[in-house]
Amino acid sequence: MTVSALDTPFVVNDTRLAFDAEQHVYRLGDRPLPAVTAILSATGIADFTGPWFTEDIRDRGTYVHQAVALEVEGALDEEALDPALLPYLEGWRAFLAETGCEIEHWERPVCDPVLGYAGTLDGIVRGLTPRRTLIDIKLGLYASAGPQTAAYRRLALNFYAHPVAMDRAVVELVGDGRYRLHPLTYPGDEPLFLAALRIHNWRLAHDARR
């Protein structure tokens, strides 16, 4: 499966945007921009430190995302793939086969220089609903997926040269060749993220004045 641009006028987000993987911080030129997940974590909406979020689970999620990205790009060497990751990849393939949706964009870093945050969305697909759908791949469903995908959708809309309508969904890869599709429709997700962003920025400003 390769990414298809279809007939979409596409706007390149700011080419100055870069990601510092070690610090997990995006930079727009010399200006640091916090990541969506960092904002949610700093404000207590997401918890990536609990006993259930072990290093093994974190690594597995990273490797699954990498495998899916290579699959999307048509660059996956399945013979070199860790066999433990194959059931997750099969779940992803089942999702594409059963829904018939087509990938429009994948792993796009994007920022909002006005609000001052950034992130890398997993993907945007067409055919899952009558509208475009921003999807996020997860190995489990967490409450923070709502505000997280709402934040990504705000960023994703910056990609397009004209207004578009976009739904949100989590594709949960179960790990046994299956997937679960979770549409996300709660209208309070975006206001919650924006509130978290304001709190995050207030804390930064407050600490700076100490």
Q: What pLDDT does residue 208 have?
A: 52
Q: Is 35 part of any domain?
A: no
Q: Is 102 part of any domain?
A: yes
Residue type, 195: A
Q: Name which residue leads in pLDDT, 67 or 24.
A: 67
Q: Name which residue leads in pLDDT, 135 or 17.
A: 135
Q: What pLDDT does residue 189 have?
A: 98
Q: What pLDDT does residue 161 have?
A: 78
Q: Is 3 part of any domain?
A: no
Cα three-residue angle 66-129-184, rounded to 5 degrees? 65
Q: What pLDDT does residue 8 have?
A: 42
User: Domain span at residue 124?
Assistant: 40-208
| Cα dist from 168 to 11, 14, 134, whole Å | 21, 24, 5
- What are the helix (H) ranges across the chain? 36-42, 55-73, 86-99, 145-156, 189-208
Please, which contacts does 69-76 make with residues 24 or more away whose CB atoms are closer than 8 Å? 69/106, 69/107, 71/1, 72/1, 72/2, 72/3, 72/103, 72/106, 72/107, 72/123, 73/2, 73/3, 73/106, 74/1, 74/2
pLDDT exceeds 50 at position 12: no
Q: Is 26 part of any domain?
A: no
**C-alpha 43, offset from chain centre:** 19
What percentage of the chain carries pLDDT values higher than 70? 90
Q: Name which residue leads in pLDDT, 54 or 115.
A: 115
- Euclidean distance between CA atoms 72 and 106, whole angstroms: 8
Mean pLDDT of 11-24: 74
Q: Is 15 part of any domain?
A: no
Q: What pLDDT does residue 108 have?
A: 86
Q: Is 57 part of any domain?
A: yes
pLDDT exceeds 90 at position 56: no
- Euclidean distance between CA atoms 86 and 42, whole angstroms: 33
Is the CA virtual torsion 181, 145, 17, 57 positive or negative? negative
Q: State the average pLDDT for the chain.
A: 88
Q: What pLDDT does residue 11 have?
A: 46
pLDDT band at 52 (very low <50, low <70, confident <90, very high): low
Lowest mean pLDDT among 23-37, 48-62, 172-186: 48-62
> For the chain, how many helices (H) and strands (E)?
5, 8
Contact 77, 85 (CB under 8 A): no
At residue 20, φ and ψ (nearest 5 deg) are: -95, 100
pLDDT exceeds 60 at position 7: no
How do residues 119-174 score in pLDDT, each as one tens digit? 999 999 999 999 999 999 999 998 999 999 999 999 998 778 788 999 999 999 99
CATH of the domain at 120: 3.40.1350.10
Residue 82, helix vs strand vs coil: coil
- Euclidean distance between CA atoms 101 and 94, whole angstroms: 11
- Euclidean distance between CA atoms 15 and 190, whole angstroms: 26
pTM over 0.85: yes
Q: Is 21 part of any domain?
A: no
Domains identified in the chain, total number: 1
Q: Is 100 part of any domain?
A: yes
Q: Name which residue leads in pLDDT, 206 or 76.
A: 76
Contact 43, 121 (CB under 8 A): no
Mean pLDDT of 48-61: 77
